[in-house]
Amino acid sequence: MSFLKSVTALAGLVWITGFAPSAAAQLAASDTVTFFRPQGAPFSFTLFEETEGVATFTLIAGVAPTGNAALFGSYTVLTEPDGTISDVFGVVPVDTIGPVNFAFFSDSETGSTTVPSQFINPAGGTPIILLEGNGGPFDVTNYLSPVLQDLGITATFRSDAEPSVPEPATLALVGMALAAVGMARRKRA
């Protein structure tokens, strides 16, 4: 393929992708909690970009409450590269004196700087702070109630980690690679 044809093909690719709906316009899965039964198929819960916020599980595999009360206040925070909060998972109280349920907080697209108050135990706790990295999966089984754990139910959390190279930069990299291939073929001919 000649250099001119390579550039023409790349221009066509850029023109076509310019009409694709933006990532923000598509209904994209944001974060996913997957529960696993012993020797059984996984079942999952997905929070979509448009419904981000705190998701509380009040019933899992027919069991309520769903959280490990001993871990109230010992939530896990996943942070973005800029230090803002991406996601939080742990347990939240059903009411002021009652049991707790497993829950997670999904980030807004701008990042958050505070942990939702539902996760904070006024009596204390030991929060864990981790880099979001590639999004996991992170094992969250310890936050499930002892009853769920005794049943062999396990759980993972997968975050919607942002790509390390933004989409326009990826397209530019592909374009440069195509141009380099075209130039190399041109020199050989």
47's CB contacts (< 8 A; 6+ apart) are: 29, 30, 31, 32, 55, 104, 106
pLDDT at residue 162 in the model: 56
Residue 175 lies in a domain: no
pLDDT at residue 11 in the model: 35
Residue 186 lies in a domain: no
Average pLDDT over residues 50-71: 88
Average pLDDT over residues 28-52: 76
Average pLDDT over residues 118-137: 93
β-pair partners for 145:
none
pLDDT tens digit string along 2-27? 433 433 333 333 333 333 334 444 44
Residue 53 lies in a domain: yes
Residue 177 lies in a domain: no
Q: Are strands 76-79 and 54-57 parallel, antiparallel or unpaired?
A: unpaired
Residue 15 lies in a domain: no
- What is the rounded distance in angstroms from the CA atom of residue 87 to the CA atom of residue 163? 16
Q: Which domain holds residue 56?
A: 31-164
Residue ranges in 56-158 assigned as alpha helix (H):
146-150
Domain tally for the chain?
1
pLDDT at residue 42 in the model: 86
pLDDT at residue 39 in the model: 80
pLDDT above 80: residue 146 = yes
Residue 3 lies in a domain: no
Q: How confident is the model at residue 49 (pLDDT cuts 50, 70, 90)?
A: low
Residue 78 and residue 86 in contact, taking contact as beta carbons nearer than 8 Å: yes
Residue 178 lies in a domain: no
Q: How confident is the model at residue 28 (pLDDT cuts 50, 70, 90)?
A: low
Residue 108 lies in a domain: yes
